[in-house]
Amino acid sequence: MARMWGTLALRLANAGLLPLDAAEYARHLRGFVDELAAAHPRAPIGLERVRAGVDAFEQAGERLNAAGAAALAAGSLDPALARRVNRGLRELERHWLDPEGIPGRPWFKHTLYAARYTYAHLELPGLTEAFEAGDWTRAGAQADVLERALARNTALVADLARDLGASRAERLAHLEARLATLREAFPGDMAIYLKHLGSGDEIALDADSVYETFSVIKIPIMAEVLRQAEAGPWRSPTASR
């Protein structure tokens, strides 16, 4: 066991991109859905939308695998992009969580895995227990929960694949579009200006609009203080008071 965990730790530590295969994950999920449907052939509700969600998740995973392999093979993976993708991959498992938990046992938050009262493993716990109880209203609600989780992770994986496969200019345009959407939804006035000090890339959305500064004025003042302190000996104007 120690050898296995040691090998796993080394593999993760040396990975340019975390070796998490979302497409393979989706194939396992499809197996869970197939087993549940086979065990309840006369269930009055279908699982077509869940199956469609699994299919979409698998397709997004295959695109991510291809984009990741191409980026690693090219040997030019931007470290900032790699960190962003790896951070997204770590979010994948969290997106399966349902804050409400499974009915009757809300301490189990994961929509894919839990344990039975006997401690035996249980896949798709909320949906499976509803099927076994013949509670089709609850089964429909749990299918909706699973569909939403699939949609969240499909969107996440698709975004990561797009970022990996896109040029820097395309990634910048995608970020600008996302910021513009957030700005439009904001219940007030918002201006955005971003500049990457390494690359010089900029995003400006109504950046020249005039706003009251209020406490925001402290930011450039503090930036100048820190710049002067870093440049050499520096004495606070208030130090002698």
Same domain for 233 and 205? yes
Residues 139 and 24 in one domain: yes
Instruction: State which of 104, 139, 165 marks the end of a domain.
Output: 165
| 146 shares a domain with 56 | yes
Claim to verify: residue 66 and residue 143 sit in the same structural domain: yes
Phi-psi region of 169 (alpha: psi -120 to 50; beta: other; left: phi over 0): alpha
Q: Is residue 77 pLDDT above 90, yes or no?
A: no
CA trace torsion 39, 43, 47, 48 (10° rounding): 120
Domain membership of residue 125 as a residue range: 2-165
The H or E element containing residue 113 is: strand 113-115
Residue count (the chain): 241
Give the mean pLDDT of the chain: 89
Tens digits of residue pLDDT in 8-28? 888 888 888 988 999 999 999
- Identify the CATH number of the domain in which residue 152 sits: 1.20.930.40
Q: What does the pLDDT read at residue 167? A: 65
How many structural domains compose the chain?
Answer: 2
**CA atoms of 91 and 100, how far apart (whole Å):** 19
- pLDDT digit string (tens) for 120-135? 999 999 999 999 999 9
Is residue 175 located within the same domain as residue 216? Answer: yes
Mean pLDDT calculated for residue range 135-155: 96
Please check whether residues 158 and 222 belong to one and the same domain. Answer: no
Q: Determine the pLDDT at residue 238.
A: 61
Match 């499974």 to its residue by tokens: 102
Q: Are residues 75 and 175 in the same domain?
A: no
The residue from 165, 182, 200 where one domain ends is 165
- Hey, is 83 helix, strand or coil? helix
Asked if 41 and 85 count as a contact pair (C-beta separation under 8 A), the reply is: no
Using alpha carbons, select from 101, 99, 129 the residue that is nearest to residue 117: 129
* Averaged pLDDT for residues 143-159: 96
Q: Can you name the residues that pair with 192 across neighbouring β-strands?
A: 205
Please report which confidence band the pLDDT of residue 241 belongs to, taking 50, 70 and 90 as the band edges.
Answer: very low
- The reported pLDDT for the residue numbered 234 is 67
Looking at residue 81, what is its pLDDT? 86
- Dist CA 26 CA 19 (whole Å): 15
Q: Do strands 192-195 and 121-123 pair parallel, antiparallel, or not at all (unpaired)?
A: unpaired
Stretch 159-165: mean pLDDT: 88
Residues 147, 188 within the same domain:
no
128 plus 222 within the same structural domain: no
Do 140 and 86 belong together in one domain? yes
Which one, of 48, 58, 51, lies nearest residue 23 by Cα?
58
**Whether residue 160 is found in the same domain as residue 175:** no
Among 77-86, 144-153, 180-189, the range with the most confident prediction by mean pLDDT is 144-153
Confidence category of residue 240, pLDDT binned at 50, 70, 90: very low
Same domain assignment for residues 122 and 70: yes
Per DSSP, the three-state class of 10 is helix
Q: Give the pLDDT mean for 108-131.
A: 94
32-47 mean pLDDT: 95
Task: Read off the pLDDT band of 236 (50, 70, 90).
Answer: low
Please say whether the beta carbons of 146 and 124 come within 8 A. Answer: yes
The residue from 137, 165, 193 where one domain ends is 165
For the cut 80, the answer to whether the pLDDT of residue 166 exceeds it is no
